């Protein structure tokens, strides 16, 4: 009789393909799934009796800002506590490498979402990836290189289009990052350091991404009343370059944009007939980023998540702070900078429409630097399973799991991950389908989710019994 290291017996397996769950046994040996089937005749060093529980591939968080967290908080509790086994870093044009502060010693928003200038210690992308490997994080890391970081390295002034020489410098840094194993390039065109990016600059960089067979992800130029034009621009760049393209955290912010997801999803569906175009979403109607007056104006509520000059205001609402200081909200926001906030500015019907759109993926967009973070940092994936799938029946459990596993692995081009299949890497999450739910909320945002029983990353325990196990078995997944 064959021997396995671990046998998970009698769980309902949602294999990540979108197929309905089946009661099966799953055996793990080393870092791989050794066998999957009903009533496996295997001996194992350890057996987990999992009747009544669900087993799925580990969740893949396709949109994170964990670039520095995977170096400094290697247990990755916000992620493994919700069943995440792989994170994609370097989103929104923001990456920890190459060091963007060689020309700009003062932190540039939104790069300061990761930390101050001193946190960016890696001149080259290869150096950064080596540091991540040495840190042995609890999760796998799929790294993107950020366009804003490249721009800041190449340009003294970021409020205009790049010259040919500056674009050439960016292309050299991009090539080095791709050679080191970056999964692709991210852009954050809504943020001031990249707003002036001209079409020629985008075409040059994204064409290089396409030539390398890599991925372009984009925080589009507008997610507000101009979101339709922004989707059109994204589709145009994807068509002209042939790049695999992922629209980041697709949403419609501000009352003037409510309902526009009907139009944007129709545009995306039509474009998908000829292009490789995908999108991700987080399951909340509030966003979170650096302090930006325009975002605050379009929001029904703004809560400060961090403020360097006024840390005592973390967790307080902007209107209350303005009243206490006897100034306008605009003046209060300026006084709080550099800082970040949560912006309540989306409509639930748009969220439902985007989340239930079959091709959409799930990404938390969590910000680990925030002192009082958006609850999405801790609760995104159980919220999809518990609130949206089980309680509201927005999609069946097998589809919810596929969005967060197999579909995402396919978009990222991850090999032998994202499915519960013999021979695949043993990235697995065991959860209680009747109890799983996000606990973190806007009042108490730092809280592990309910119902996550066991998390394996490459066969090593990262979460068990309600606590991080710090297995340190995560890997850098180079392209």
Backbone angles phi, psi at 85, to 5 degrees: -115, -10
Q: Are 12 and 70 members of one domain?
A: no
69-82: pLDDT as tens digits: 999 999 999 999 99
pLDDT for the residue numbered 10 = 98
Indicate the residue among 326, 344, 362 that finishes a domain: 344
Q: Are 313 and 445 members of one domain?
A: no
Q: Are 118 and 128 members of one domain?
A: yes
Q: Are 440 and 334 members of one domain?
A: no
Do the beta carbons of residue 15 and residue 57 sit within 8 Å?
yes
| Continuous segment of H or E residues that includes residue 33 | strand 32-37
Token pair for 49 = 């009796």
Strand partners, 281: 362
**Stretch 333-344: mean pLDDT, rounded?**
98
Query: Domains in the chain: how many in total?
Result: 3
Q: Are 399 and 254 members of one domain?
A: yes
Taking each helix axis from N to C end, the angle separating 227-241 and 261-271, rounded to the nearest 10 degrees, works out to 10
Residue 1 has pLDDT above 60, yes or no: no
Q: Which of 124, 115, 163, 137 is nearest to 61 (CA)?
A: 137
Write the CB contacts of 288 (distance below 8 Å, at least 6 apart in sequence).
305, 340, 341, 342, 343, 365, 367, 370, 373, 374, 376
**Stretch 236-261: mean pLDDT, rounded?**
99
Residue 288 has pLDDT above 80, yes or no: yes
Q: Are 243 and 99 members of one domain?
A: yes
Q: Is residue 90 part of a domain?
A: yes
Of 1 and 238, which is predicted with more confidence? 238
366-403: pLDDT as tens digits: 999 999 999 999 999 999 999 999 999 999 999 999 99
395-454: pLDDT as tens digits: 999 999 999 999 999 999 999 999 999 999 999 999 999 999 999 999 999 999 999 999
Cα 366 to Cα 73: distance, rounded to the nearest angstrom: 14
Q: Which of 241, 151, 232 is nearest to 191 (CA)?
A: 151
Q: Is residue 113 part of a domain?
A: yes
Do the beta carbons of residue 206 and residue 237 sit within 8 Å?
yes
Q: Are 194 and 300 members of one domain?
A: no
Q: Is the dihedral of CA 424, 430, 434, 439 positive or negative?
A: negative
Q: Are 241 and 376 members of one domain?
A: yes
CA atoms within 13 A on the CB side of 165: 2
Preceding amide of 107 cis, omega within 30: no
Taking each helix axis from N to C end, the angle separating 125-135 and 164-180, rounded to the nearest 10 degrees, works out to 30
Q: Are 208 and 308 members of one domain?
A: no
What percentage of residues in the chain have a pLDDT greater than 70?
100
Mean pLDDT of the chain: 97
Residue 247 has pLDDT above 60, yes or no: yes
Of 178 and 1, which is predicted with more confidence? 178
Residue 2 has pLDDT above 80, yes or no: no
Task: Look at residue 411 and give its three-state secondary structure.
Answer: helix
Q: Are 167 and 206 members of one domain?
A: yes
Taking each helix axis from N to C end, the angle separating 147-154 and 164-180, rounded to the nearest 10 degrees, works out to 130
Q: Is residue 322 part of a domain?
A: yes
pLDDT for the residue numbered 118 = 82
Q: Are 380 and 337 members of one domain?
A: no
19-59: pLDDT as tens digits: 999 999 999 999 999 999 999 989 999 999 999 999 999 99
**pTM for the model:** 0.97
Token pair for 365 = 């967009």
Q: Is residue 478 part of a domain?
A: no
Burial status of residue 126 (CB atoms within 10 A of its CB: 0-12, 13-18, 19 or more): middle
Cα 467 to Cα 463: distance, rounded to the nearest angstrom: 6
Instruction: Give CA 147 to chain center in angstroms.
Output: 17
Residue 116 has pLDDT above 90, yes or no: no
């Amino acid at each position: 009789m064959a021997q396995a290291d671990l046998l998970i017996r009698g769980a309902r397996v949602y294999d990540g393909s979108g197929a309905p769950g089946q009661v099966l046994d799953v055996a793990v040996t080393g870092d791989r799934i050794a066998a999957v089937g009903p009533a496996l005749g295997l001996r194992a060093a350890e057996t987990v009796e999992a009747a009544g529980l669900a087993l799925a591939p580990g969740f893949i968080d396709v949109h994170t800002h964990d670039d520095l967290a995977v170096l400094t908080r290697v247990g990755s509790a916000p992620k493994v506590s919700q069943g995440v086994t792989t994170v994609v870093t370097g989103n929104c044009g923001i990456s920890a490498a190459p060091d963007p502060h060689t020309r700009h010693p003062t932190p540039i928003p939104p790069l300061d979402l990761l930390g101050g200038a001193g946190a960016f210690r890696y001149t080259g992308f290869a150096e950064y990836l080596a540091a991540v490997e040495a840190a042995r994080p609890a999760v796998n890391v799929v790294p993107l290189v950020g366009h804003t970081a490249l721009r800041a390295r190449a340009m003294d002034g970021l409020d205009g289009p790049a010259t040919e020489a500056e674009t050439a410098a960016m292309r050299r840094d991009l090539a080095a990052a791709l050679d080191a194993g970056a999964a692709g390039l991210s852009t954050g065109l809504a943020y001031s350091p990249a707003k002036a990016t001209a079409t020629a600059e985008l075409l040059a960089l994204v064409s290089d991404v396409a030539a390398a067979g890599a991925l372009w992800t984009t925080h589009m130029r507008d997610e507000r009343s101009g979101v339709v034009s922004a989707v059109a621009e994204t589709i145009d760049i994807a068509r002209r370059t042939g790049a695999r393209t992922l629209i980041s955290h697709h949403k419609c912010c501000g009352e003037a944009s409510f309902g526009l997801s009907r139009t944007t999803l129709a545009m995306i569906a039509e474009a998908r007939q000829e292009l490789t175009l995908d999108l991700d979403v987080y399951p909340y109607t509030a966003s979170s980023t650096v302090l930006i007056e325009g975002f605050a104006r379009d929001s029904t509520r703004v809560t400060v998540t961090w403020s360097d000059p006024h840390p005592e205001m973390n967790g307080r609402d902007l209107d209350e702070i303005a009243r206490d200081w006897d100034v306008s909200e605009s003046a209060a926001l300026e006084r709080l900078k550099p800082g970040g906030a949560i912006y309540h500015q989306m409509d639930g019907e748009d969220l439902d429409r985007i989340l239930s759109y079959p091709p959409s993926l799930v990404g938390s967009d969590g910000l680990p630097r925030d002192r009082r973070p958006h609850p999405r940092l801790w609760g995104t994936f159980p919220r999809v399973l518990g609130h949206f799938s089980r309680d509201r029946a927005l999609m069946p459990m097998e589809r919810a799991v596929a969005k967060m596993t197999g579909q995402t692995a396919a978009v990222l081009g991850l090999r032998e991950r994202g499915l519960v299949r013999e021979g695949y890497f043993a990235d697995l999450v065991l959860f209680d389908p009747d109890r799983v739910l996000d606990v973190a909320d806007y009042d108490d945002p730092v809280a592990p989710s309910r119902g996550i029983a066991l998390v394996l990353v490459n066969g090593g325990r990262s979460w068990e019994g309600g606590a991080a196990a710090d297995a340190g078995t995560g890997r850098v997944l180079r392209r």
